[in-house]
Amino acid sequence: MKLFGHYDSGHALKVKFFLDWLNIDHEYELVDIYSKREDRSTEFLTASKFAEVPTLIDDNNYYTQSNAILVYLAEKFAVFHNDKHKQENLQWLVWEANKIGLCLPQLRCHDRLTDKNPNFKLSQGAYDWLIHRYRHDVNVLDNELRNQKFILGEQVSPADFSLSAYLLYADEINNIEVPKNVAHWLDRMRNLNGWQSPYTMLA
């Protein structure tokens, strides 16, 4: 199994942290996501339908889209307890892609990464809207976590790796607050086996 990623990618962090938590032996390769797409390696471009990280190669099959990769791995390593558990995970994985995964990556790129790509700079209107979206969505998450350790109860689930990934970079993003229940849950994520800073895990 081989994973392609980058330390600036919360999408890649979801998959790398999940593999490390599961203690699955795998190869890892850093892809320069700031390079021109056509300059990336042939192996990566062949495997990655969208030329993006994360991309996973397993048994000569190619997998892209972070949340879809989490589902593939959770199925392969029997992490879902039953159909209901899988469905509950899918609900949060789809929510993440449209909520936290919409606002935080763009805000972080705007605040931290415009030197690497000037196109990451947001207009004031887009910036204000994403901050507004974040504040609403993080409170949905905070409310859900008020009486439980992880998103689906007492045990960590694949959805936690997805929901937490960009929040684990929250201290790099200006003008956002992490509410109390979310902050405690992020501490629990950092206490799981396999956790290291993204800059170490995905170097």
**191 three-class SS:** coil
Q: Least distance to ligand GSH from the beta carbon of 78, Å?
A: 23
- The secondary structure of the chain in percent helix, strand, coil, rounded to multiples of 5, reads 55, 10, 35
Q: Which is nearer to ligand GSH, 39 or 187 (CB)?
A: 39
- By CB under 6 A, is residue 19 in contact with ligand GSH? no
- By CB under 6 A, is residue 96 in contact with ligand GSH? no
**Which residues fall within 8 angstroms of residue 24, CB to CB, at 6 or more apart?**
1, 73, 77
Q: Which is nearer to ligand GSH, 11 or 99 (CB)?
A: 11
State how far the Cα of 77 lies from the Cα of 80, in Å rounded to an integer: 9
Residues 141-168, buried b or exposed e (16+ Cβ, 10 A)?
Answer: bbebbeeeebbbeeebbbbbbbbbbbbb
- By CB under 6 A, is residue 52 in contact with ligand GSH? yes
Q: Are 107 and 173 in contact, with CB atoms under 8 Å apart?
A: yes
Q: Least distance to ligand GSH from the beta carbon of 148, Å?
A: 25
State how far the Cα of 137 lies from the Cα of 120, in Å rounded to an integer: 22
Within 111-170, the residues that bind ligand GSH by CB under 6 A are none
| Interface segment toward ligand GSH; rule CB under 6 A; list 50-58, 78-86, 167-175, 189-197 | 50-58
Residue from 45, 65, 127, 149 in contact with ligand GSH (CB under 6 A) = 65
Q: How many residues bind ligand GSH (CB under 6 A)?
A: 11
Q: Least distance to ligand GSH from the beta carbon of 111, Å?
A: 15
Q: Least distance to ligand GSH from the beta carbon of 61, Å?
A: 16
Q: Are 6 and 46 in contact, with CB atoms under 8 Å apart?
A: no
Q: Point out which residues bind ligand GSH (CB under 6 A).
A: 9, 11, 33, 37, 51-54, 65-67
